Amino acid sequence: MAEKASVPTPNSVAHRAWRVKIAFNQKPMSRTTGEAQAGLREKRYTGLSFYGLFLSLYFSGVAPRTPKLEYCVSFWAKNITCYWNPLQEMGPETTYRLHITEEAGRCQMDFGYTRSCTATQGDGACGVPVENLFAFYKINLTAESRGVQVSSPEMCVHGMSIVKLSAPEVSIAEANQSRCFYLEWSTPGDEVLSLLETEYEIQFRDVAETSWMQVNFTLFENSPGFANICHVAPFTNYSVRVRARYLHEVSFAVGGGRPFWSDWSRERFVRTLPEAPSAGPALWRKLGHPDGYGNRVVVLMWKPLTPKEANGEILGYSLHSQKRGEPAILQCFTPDLQCSLLLPAGEEFTFLVVATNIVGMSPPTKLVVPPSGGQEDLPSLPPVLVSPAGDHGLLLRWPLPDNPMTVYIFEWGQLPTKEGRDVSWRYQPASVGHALITEAIEPGKLYELKIFALIDGRIWTSGSTSAYSKQIAPRRAPTLYPVRVWKSRVELQWEILPLEERGGVIRNYTVFYKKEGEDDHTAVVLDSSVHGCFIEGLAPSSVVTVFITVANDGGSTDGPIVTIHTKDSDYGETEILSSALCVGFLFVLLAGSLACLWKHQLLRKYLWPPIPDPAKSNLATWAPQKMFLDFSPCRPEKWSRDYLTLTINDLLRILPSQSEEMGRKAFWGNQWLADVPGPLQKPDPITRNGSPSWGSRGQPQSHTSSWSPVVYSRVIVVEKNHGPNDPQRSPRHLRPPSKCQDPENPALRSKSGQGVWLQNFTYEALLDVGPGSRAFGSVAEFPLLVSLAEGILHPTESPQGTPRKKP
């Protein structure tokens, strides 16, 4: 009995070789049998095609297209999957069925049974399981809908010509140099007999970036896959991945298929070794104002190096300063990004900054700071165009310089400039004619940009400009207030908005006002340079409401409503009326004054009648300084020392028409005091009836007269009645009880101590005696004395209590 041939393990290399051998050694069918079978199939398909064409023409009038396979992919130890585009004219209910038959040779005859798969409705792909990829396969697609079936042309492909290998596995990824790293991988399973049958693609990228760099790699010997990837950046983290593709033989490419790249392996990460920094940090300065000692603060600032420039972790920065003709001096070594120095303002300094890492130092960066006021005549920079680049960016463009060694420093800050506000800056090489600034840029704020061109660290030209990244509506409207108000118009003014509140370039102002009794507002549009206007045509004593709107390219903002009351009259009208009244009053007053001057004699006669002047009468020489009228029959010696004492008989000599008895009755119970101020001296005693007058000590006195004018208006007559216990009694005004009493008149005795006191009377005038004196010719010459005497001798009431009639 013949031994049964052993079958190798499926999907092994021996199994694939055995299948290839069987396929090529299989006995082909006879030509007659093959032709008969082909003719039978042709008749069947011809009938179906004719029937399907008839149905399609009947139902839609358009013949359906044959389906077309786009491509097929074979997966190791899985299946062959094909893809196609559904036929739109056959509708969504079409059923697609994929037929795959393993062939002997180059699709010369069928080797196995036809296997098929049906695609899910709506899908354009399905896969048929296969065991051997080292064989040719005949592939066909049919579509059926409503009894109509169409078929695609047959495709003959080799299983390995359309194979897609599994993703490789990266086992090692490590750095062995600063600019290279080592990579090792392998292909899983036994999909290929040797790694020489595959080609590889290696991709790597900086983890801080998104773009990949790719390297194509092919092994030249049968060994595990490895590679050294060089020309990478030092001290950089890289992500690495690998994929593979089968190198098929030309004899396999029957149907035009081509193997596919496998999926990418899982990413592995590697970090290269550091090296010395490749570039020095960008250096700039901030200058202070000179103080009273000639020094100024100079703040040196530098930018941190980028990772590709630092090539490692920066440990610190060294700053050196150098005067002209002197060696450099280390000023500071710091991990910070600035260093502040106090230096003489009148000297030039050259500064050098160096970055240091664990491997070495960077090349130095040079900056020359001239003395204070040494850069006032720098040439202007070529025009720099500034345009918005989004809400938080500004794009700068400038022509490329002629000198390739030129570098630019951009300095910008918010306007208006304030003391102590940080200033942003940026270093830009001259090889690029544009720069995008996004640091510290906010919409609605105005920024001042200064551009400095440097060659070998020295500033050669500079320029400045200003721009907004984005204009927004003003943050508020200006304050509106009336300046002057008339009865028919109003003058308005408004403030100039600060730069930080404008939000953009002010284009115009619009003043809206509404008169009293109107419904709509009237608008007045004014240019941005105007900050005041007039509103005219208003009614007196009316109300007008006003508000202002400010606008820029980003929008507009309304201000609050202001209510204004117009006046009853304009400025000056009241003043003119008042002035006219004053002028008229002055004119009338002047005319009246002139009339008074013209008629002053007549007016004086009626308004100020003439009054006799007592100083010009005989009374001026008649009154002594002090005189006492005694009504007793005797004279006390005690009072004769200071007063001139007269009896009633002496007084009645002046008034001969009055009897002694009437005079006494008139003076009883009354005491009169007449004070006439004046610098009159006390009169000397004189003789009466040729006899000398005796003084207070009983000694005769010589006759000496002292005359003084009497002021008529100052003569005062006072009646004084004092009781015996009155504390106001004065020994100089009260007469003590008289020792001499009149036996003939008891009433007079009871009235002792009473009398009339007169001052500034002259004894000679009263008695009309003495040498050189004259007698009173008429009592009318003394109106004061007459009035006094009339009041004494003729009281207003009679003894019976009835009023006395005036004569």
- Of 160-169, 273-282, 519-528, 743-752, which gets the smallest average pLDDT? 743-752
What is the predicted pLDDT for the residue at 63? 57
Assessment of whether the complete model's pTM goes beyond 0.75: no
On the question of pLDDT at 429 being above 60, the answer is: yes
Q: What mean pLDDT is predicted for residues 736-762? A: 44
pLDDT averaged over every residue in the chain: 74
Q: How confident is the model at residue 773 (pLDDT cuts 50, 70, 90)?
A: very low
Beta bridge mates, 79: 129
Beta bridge mates, 634: none
Long-range contacts of 50-54 (CB under 8 A, 24+ apart): 51/148, 52/147, 52/148, 52/149, 52/150
Q: How confident is the model at residue 678 (pLDDT cuts 50, 70, 90)?
A: very low
- Between CA 482 and CA 480 the distance in angstroms is 7
pLDDT in tens, 173-229: 999 888 999 999 887 777 777 777 888 999 999 998 899 999 888 776 556 678 889
- Among candidate residues 277, 241, 51, 274, the one with its CA nearest the CA of residue 144: 51
On the question of pLDDT at 46 being above 70, the answer is: no
What is the predicted pLDDT for the residue at 220? 65
Beta bridge mates, 545: 514, 563
Question: Do the Cβ atoms of 19 and 10 come closer than 8 Å?
Answer: no
Q: What mean pLDDT is predicted for residues 439-453? A: 91
pLDDT in tens, 47-87: 444 444 444 444 444 556 788 888 899 998 889 999 998 88
pLDDT in tens, 468-483: 999 999 999 999 999 9
What is the predicted pLDDT for the residue at 597? 79
pLDDT in tens, 692-733: 444 444 444 444 344 444 444 334 344 444 444 444 444 344
In 469-542, beta strands by DSSP E:
480-485, 489-494, 506-514, 522-527, 532-536
What is the predicted pLDDT for the residue at 264? 94
- Between CA 381 and CA 465 the distance in angstroms is 11
What is the predicted pLDDT for the residue at 342? 94
On the question of pLDDT at 44 being above 50, the answer is: no
On the question of pLDDT at 621 being above 90, the answer is: no
Torsion of CA 128, 131, 132, 133, to 10 degrees: 40
Reading across the β-sheet that carries 237-246, which strands appear in turn? 213-218, 198-206, 237-246, 268-271
Q: Which two tokens stand for residue 227?
A: 């590679």
* Per-range mean pLDDT, top range of 29-43, 429-443, 520-534: 520-534
- Among candidate residues 657, 628, 667, 668, the one with its CA nearest the CA of residue 645: 628
What is the predicted pLDDT for the residue at 514? 93
On the question of pLDDT at 737 being above 50, the answer is: no
On the question of pLDDT at 563 being above 60, the answer is: yes
Q: How confident is the model at residue 756 (pLDDT cuts 50, 70, 90)?
A: very low
Question: Do the Cβ atoms of 417 and 286 come closer than 8 Å?
Answer: no
CB atoms < 10 A from the CB of 611, how many? 8
Question: Do the Cβ atoms of 83 and 70 come closer than 8 Å?
Answer: yes
More confident residue, 303 or 31: 303
